[in-house]
A and B are shown apart, each in its own frame.
Chain A
Amino acid sequence: MTTRIDTRFAALKKEGRAALVTFYMGGDPDPETSLKVIKALPKAGADLIEIGMAFTDPMADGPTIQAAGLRALSKGITLEKTLHLVREFRKDDNETPIILMGYFNPIFIYGVEKFLADAKSSGVDGLIVVDCPPEEDDELCKPALKAGLNFIRLATPTTDEKRLPKVLQNTSGFVYYVSIAGITGAARPDPQKVAASVARIKAHTTLPVTVGFGVRTAADAAEIAKTADGVVVGSALVEAVRQSLHADGRPTELTMGAVTSIVEDIAKGVRSVKK
């Protein structure tokens, strides 16, 4: 099984550069605007797109992404509507990989089998479900692999040498290294420690390794692109959107530009590093 994720990473390797992976909350600040943003991401320089599945209780997320999820929910986003965003995106773009990222409960309530079938047919390539560790692989990971979706696992600073093989066992697509012990959008990662961790993971797997949590600027991104196969940016984008909104949460004429300019900037950082 080769997914768009595999194809994209193979192409970038040939090109000799790291991937820019952008996270954006589905439905933020409203479903229409979020679709426009997601459609604009590849042109601005995103190589892969993670779309957040909004959840009321995102226990691994910092205030920025928590607030984005609540904004989206208040404008009526549901898991079904998030899948619809992907279908709409796929009408114009059949190459950029889409990864849905979120928490298990909305998927469990939607129905795992139905969700996987609908995600696949909507054009989703992979899943990152934060609260499904390897210990719960029978719940979602194995069924997702069977359905032809990549299941991308998080490895963290607390994932030691002994545990790493277990984390990598059913991982596919790429490995997402969480650069800090903490929540999204918190402290800045230390490039040296990140480099060592990426090397440690690469000793155990041939999968691409991307790094995220705390990446904010083109300089951060360039630093990480030296060692990792991809750089994930999330909170910085979501925060740029929030700052562009009206006080009542409606988008302004600045909203689209706020996202695209930051993605363009960080993409330059990523692309400045030749490998």
Chain B
Amino acid sequence: MTIQQSLNSFRTGPDETGHFGNFGGRFVAETLMPLILDLEKAYAEAKADPAFEAELKSFHTHYVGRPSPLYFAKRLTEHVGGAKIYLKRDELNHTGAHKINNVLGQILLARRMGKTRIIAETGAGQHGVATATACARFGLKCVVYMGAVDVERQKPNVFRMKMLGAEIVPVVSGSKTLKDAMNEALRDWVTNVHDTFYCIGTSAGPHPYPMMVRDFQSIIGKEAREQMLEREGRLPDSLVACIGGGSNAIGLFHPFLDDKSVEIYGVEAAGHGVASGMHAASLNGGKPGVLHGNRTYLLMDGDGQIAEAHSISAGLDYPGIGPEHAWLHDTGRVTYLSTTDNEALDAFQLLSKLEGIIPALEPAHAIARAVEIAAKKPKDHLMIVNLCGRGDKDIFSVAEHLGGMA
């Protein structure tokens, strides 16, 4: 790869205009432009302020329960008979997923900026729950946009958000899923510019969101790195994480991007199979375009109309991907694979039965490919899989797919 050879570091992006190579940028309506410039400035100031970091760290320790364990999955490793598989257990975080890492960062920032009303989009509901949780903790008004289709298939999370005091707005425009929830949140933001902070849940959207979300999620990779050095005395040989927008993955990957010995795998949702057209694999089945404020790989038709994504996992059901992943894909630093609905269901059951850990359907996609890669590796190969969410929210929909067998 010529691009890869010419780069001294994969960790310096984005540039000052928010670009990772050709990806990223700030493709938003003029109404929002002054807001994202303000946000960029406020974030730069917060990042440079030790008090901000100290406050965030304190909440990580006492509220979220960080660091999350790096767990050696002994029975899964024995079952596979190859690489040693470690699980980075972000599913043990308060609220049950990695989403809270980012939300706390953004909410603390919103408070610094004097914003009193928080809006968010959510797919599976994990980001919505995390946002509703942080808003409850800080006494902020919270409005969550959620596709009407997702409201139906993620009822437990809808109830959780309501319990936490959030207002849930079911989105009935377009395909009624995550991308439409994001459109609606942007429309809200355009309308309520003065008091509202848009807490984006993934490493996508206009600059500075992809960078900011990545920074807040990088706690995953920083911890995993230290934990692996402590446990095994060396760096891991490979990393595996699932990708919707890609926030858990970039959080794990980013601290390792310049460690050339570390193989990195992102796993997209292949739905019924990439060839079927019914999938959410933007890198493996899409092409570069512009949506939701950034240039990245998107699912679309020949006229540039955005296609509906399909995945059994509502959290991966998005027709785009974070711009940094698009760039890591094009430079070849990260290898992007995909997992079908059925493979994810198998992995969901495998991990539940072998390790007593019910994963969310999202990381079940990562487990499916991790098991396959691990089988081909020697026994001293060290692999980390990001277990970014727990499966409680999915048990009913999985039961439905398994025909009541579960």
Q: How far is the CA of A183 from the CA of B28 in the complex (A)?
A: 13
For the complex formed, measure the closest distance between the CB of B200 and the CB atoms of chain A, giving whole angstroms.
13
CB-based nearest B residue for A131: B27
| Residue pair B31, A178 in contact (C-beta under 8 Å) | yes
Residues of B within 8 A of A105 (CB): 289-291, 298, 300, 304, 306
The segment out of A156-164, A221-229, A255-263 that lies at the interface is A156-164
For the complex formed, measure the closest distance between the CB of A105 and the CB atoms of chain B, giving whole angstroms.
5
| Residue pair B303, A159 in contact (C-beta under 8 Å) | no
Residues of B within 8 A of A57 (CB): 174, 179-180, 183, 291-292, 306
For the complex formed, measure the closest distance between the CB of B318 and the CB atoms of chain A, giving whole angstroms.
12
Q: A57-B174, A109-B289, A183-B191 are in contact. Are A178 and B304 (CB under 8 A)?
A: no
| Residue pair B304, A131 in contact (C-beta under 8 Å) | no
Q: How far is the CA of A58 from the CA of B305 in the complex (A)?
A: 11
Q: How far is the CA of A158 from the CA of B304 in the complex (A)?
A: 29
Residues of B within 8 A of A58 (CB): 183
| Residue pair A131, B29 in contact (C-beta under 8 Å) | yes
Q: Is A191 interfacial (CB 8 A cutoff)?
A: no
Q: Is A241 interfacial (CB 8 A cutoff)?
A: no
Q: How far is the CA of A136 from the CA of B25 in the complex (A)?
A: 8
| Residue pair B26, A59 in contact (C-beta under 8 Å) | no
| Residue pair A107, B305 in contact (C-beta under 8 Å) | no
Residues of B within 8 A of A103 (CB): 290
Taken residue by residue from 277 to 316, chain B's Cβ proximity to chain A (1 for < 8 Å, 0 otherwise) reads as 0000000000001111101001010111110000000000
| Residue pair B31, A181 in contact (C-beta under 8 Å) | yes
In this complex, the member of A60, A63, A70 whose beta carbon has the largest number of chain B beta carbons within 10 angstroms is A60
Q: Is A232 interfacial (CB 8 A cutoff)?
A: no
A106-147 contacts to B, CB under 8 A, are 106-110, 130-136
| Residue pair A66, B173 in contact (C-beta under 8 Å) | yes
Residues of B within 8 A of A219 (CB): none
Q: How far is the CA of A109 from the CA of B33 in the complex (A)?
A: 24
Q: Is A155 interfacial (CB 8 A cutoff)?
A: yes
Q: A158-B193, A186-B191 are in contact. Are A55 and B305 (CB under 8 A)?
A: yes
Q: Is A215 interfacial (CB 8 A cutoff)?
A: no
Residues of B within 8 A of A55 (CB): 304-305
| Residue pair A131, B187 in contact (C-beta under 8 Å) | no
| Residue pair B190, A108 in contact (C-beta under 8 Å) | no
For the complex formed, measure the closest distance between the CB of B12 and the CB atoms of chain A, giving whole angstroms.
20
| Residue pair B30, A153 in contact (C-beta under 8 Å) | yes
Residues of B within 8 A of A99 (CB): none
| Residue pair A109, B303 in contact (C-beta under 8 Å) | yes
B30 is contacted by which of A70, A73, A159 (Cβ under 8 Å)? A159
| Residue pair B289, A158 in contact (C-beta under 8 Å) | no
| Residue pair B190, A109 in contact (C-beta under 8 Å) | no
Q: How far is the CA of A79 from the CA of B301 in the complex (A)?
A: 12
Residues of A within 8 A of B193 (CB): 158, 181
B304 is contacted by which of A109, A136, A154, A160 (Cβ under 8 Å)? A109
Q: Is B35 interfacial (CB 8 A cutoff)?
A: yes
Q: Is B378 interfacial (CB 8 A cutoff)?
A: no
For the complex formed, measure the closest distance between the CB of B256 and the CB atoms of chain A, giving whole angstroms.
31
CB-based nearest A residue for B179: A57
| Residue pair B305, A158 in contact (C-beta under 8 Å) | no
Q: Is B186 interfacial (CB 8 A cutoff)?
A: yes
Q: Is A167 interfacial (CB 8 A cutoff)?
A: yes
Residues of A within 8 A of B (CB): 54-60, 62-63, 66, 70, 73, 78-80, 103-110, 130-136, 153-160, 163, 167, 178, 181-183, 186
Q: Which 9 pairs across A and B sit closest by C-beta, in order of nearness?
A: A109-B304, A106-B304, A182-B191, A156-B31, A131-B27, A60-B29, A78-B303, A105-B304, A56-B306
Given contacts A62-B187, A73-B305, A80-B303, 18 further A-B contacts (CB under 8 A): A60-B187, A66-B174, A108-B290, A109-B300, A109-B302, A109-B304, A131-B27, A131-B29, A136-B25, A157-B31, A158-B31, A158-B35, A158-B193, A159-B30, A159-B34, A178-B30, A178-B31, A181-B192
What are 18 A-to-B residue pairs whose CB atoms are below 8 Å?
Answer: A56-B306, A57-B174, A57-B292, A66-B173, A79-B304, A103-B290, A105-B290, A105-B291, A105-B300, A108-B304, A109-B302, A109-B304, A132-B27, A154-B29, A157-B31, A158-B30, A158-B33, A163-B33
